[in-house]
């Protein structure tokens, strides 16, 4: 049986840290095949990707991946919990595999303990959570505040974004029993100054600074998305929608549609001023992206009701036959290319959403 290691990624853009993770994951798990499931056109924080999905997928192939699958947009523009559940649902089409992820510590058992605790949320935590939510805090912040009171050790572990996602992956993986094993790649101090986060790299690109020391030689960022173009498109999309239309958009609840429709924002910076204790900057950006794409609550329901689906973005010819056969015999829908999805296919509206996201990303290059 093919021994598969999987990685969940965004690669916005691909950098030296990602290269290190892929090499270490493949080596330490003795994988026969390394599969990446990657956000295609938008990230979990609601940002438009700096390069198109095929370019970023090919970076991963050049770095050692054998297959890159597209993470459906309906999942990539979700909370950390929804992102993790969607990614694990997509990867379930592989059957058994090891999931490798980056963490702030190398203690898988500690992370698993945190995941177990979060999954079996106690009554005390639940009551505290409701209290903080009623005070207007976001779900993530409310959970942190509740855990600070009940389990400060777990709360401290969940202070870093990498650990938060790792725990969400492990929580989501519990639904698949022993089919998912875990492998962590610890983030260590960068004494050689070769590593920089994707966010910092994007900030440098915006300043026309040289980022070549922080990305592999095969990563060409000379052409990239113009975020200002996207901001204009997104601002118009939201301004053109009524409160009733906004109410149907994913990530909008509790009357936020009225606040948006009554606001006098004229650009994205002003729209981001709608942040609050409940609606963080990332949530507001996800709302903007969801409105731009027409990502509705009905599409989320459809994704939850249907079996998983995935589309191949890039692959190594030597592993194509074995991996494609594995995906084709799964209970989900596997597409070699997006046009393979027939018009009457139940997940066609979700594939159309992926295509719309890609077209908007292309408009902004």
Residues of the chain with CATH 3.40.50.620: 4-119+161-222+306-363
User: Looking at residues 144-167, what average pLDDT do you find?
Assistant: 79
Q: Could you tell me which of 300, 299, 264, 259 has the C-alpha nearest to residue 279?
A: 259
pLDDT classification of 190: cutoffs 50, 70, 90? low
Q: Please determine, for residue 9, whether its predicted confidence score (pLDDT) is greater than 80.
A: yes
Cβ proximity of 84 and 172 under 8 Å: yes
DSSP-based helix, strand, coil % in the chain, nearest 5: 55, 15, 35
Residue 235, pLDDT score: 96
Dihedral angle over CA of 194, 198, 200, 201, nearest 10: 70
- Rounded Cα–Cα distance for residues 40 and 225 (Å): 13
Q: Can you tell me the distance from the alpha carbon of 6 to that of 35, in angstroms, rounded to the nearest whole number?
A: 5
Angle among Cα 8, 14, 20 to the nearest 5 degrees reads: 75
Q: ∠ CA(317), CA(320), CA(325), 5° rounding?
A: 165
* Residue 3 CB contacts under 8 Å (≥ 6 apart), including other chains: 29, 30, 31, 32, 33, 98
Across the chain, what does the average pLDDT equal?
91
65 conformational bin, left if phi > 0, alpha if psi -120 to 50, beta if neither: beta
Taking the C-alpha atoms of residue 174 and residue 70, their distance in angstroms, rounded to an integer, is 22
Q: Which two tokens stand for residue 361?
A: 């990303």
Contact 35, 5 (CB under 8 A): yes
CB-CB contact of 281 with 343 (8 Å): no
Count of CA atoms in the C-beta half-sphere (13 A) of 318:
7
Superfamily of segment(s) 4-119+161-222+306-363:
HUPs (3.40.50.620)
> Are the CB atoms for 50 and 12 separated by under 8 Å?
yes
Dihedrals phi, psi of 254, to nearest 5 degrees: 55, 40
Question: pLDDT at position 224, please?
Answer: 93
Beta bridge partners of 46: none
pLDDT one-digit tens code per residue, 158-183: 777 788 889 899 999 999 988 999 99
- Residue written as tokens 């989320």? 300
pLDDT score for 108 = 83
Q: Which residue has the higher pLDDT, 115 or 184?
A: 184
- 240-295 residue pLDDT tens: 999 999 999 999 988 899 999 999 999 999 999 998 877 889 999 999 999 999 99
DSSP string, 209-230: ---GGGS-TT---SS---HHHH
């Amino acid at each position: 049986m093919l021994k598969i290691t999987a990685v969940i990624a965004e690669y916005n853009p691909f950098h030296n840290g990602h290269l290190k993770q892929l090499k270490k994951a493949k080596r330490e798990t003795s994988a026969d095949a390394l599969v990446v499931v990657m956000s295609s056109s938008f990230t979990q924080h609601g940002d438009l990707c700096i390069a198109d999905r095929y370019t970023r997928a090919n970076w991963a192939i050049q770095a050692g991946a054998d297959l890159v699958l597209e993470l459906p947009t309906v999942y990539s523009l979700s909370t950390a919990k929804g992102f993790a559940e969607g990614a694990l649902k997509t990867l379930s089409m592989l059957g058994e595999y090891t999931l490798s992820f980056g963490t702030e510590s190398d203690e898988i058992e500690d992370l698993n303990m945190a995941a177990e605790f979060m999954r079996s949320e106690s009554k005390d935590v639940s009551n505290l959570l409701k209290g903080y939510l009623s005070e207007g805090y976001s779900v993530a912040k409310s959970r942190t505040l509740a855990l600070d009171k009940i389990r400060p050790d777990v709360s401290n572990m969940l202070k870093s974004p990498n650990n938060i996602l790792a725990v969400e992956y492990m929580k989501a993986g519990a639904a698949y029993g022993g089919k998912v094993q875990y492998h962590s790649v610890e983030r260590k101090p960068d004494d050689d100054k070769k590593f920089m986060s994707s966010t910092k790299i994007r900030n440098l690109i915006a300043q026309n600074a040289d980022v070549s020391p922080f990305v592999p030689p095969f990563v060409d960022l000379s052409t990239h998305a113009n975020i200002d173009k996207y901001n204009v498109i997104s601002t118009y999309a939201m301004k053109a929608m009524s409160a009733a239309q906004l109410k149907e958009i994913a990530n909008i609840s509790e009357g936020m549609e009225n606040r948006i429709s009554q606001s006098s924002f004229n650009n994205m910076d002003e729209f981001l001023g709608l942040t609050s204790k409940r609606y963080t900057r990332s949530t507001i950006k996800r709302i903007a992206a969801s409105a731009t794409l027409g990502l509705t609550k009905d599409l989320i329901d459809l994704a939850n009701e249907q079996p998983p689906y995935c589309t191949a973005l890039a692959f190594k010819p030597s592993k194509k036959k074995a991996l494609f056969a594995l995906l084709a015999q799964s209970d989900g829908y596997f597409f070699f290319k997006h046009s393979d999805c027939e018009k009457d296919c139940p997940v066609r509206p979700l594939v159309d959403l992926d295509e719309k996201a890609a077209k908007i990303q292309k408009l902004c290059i």
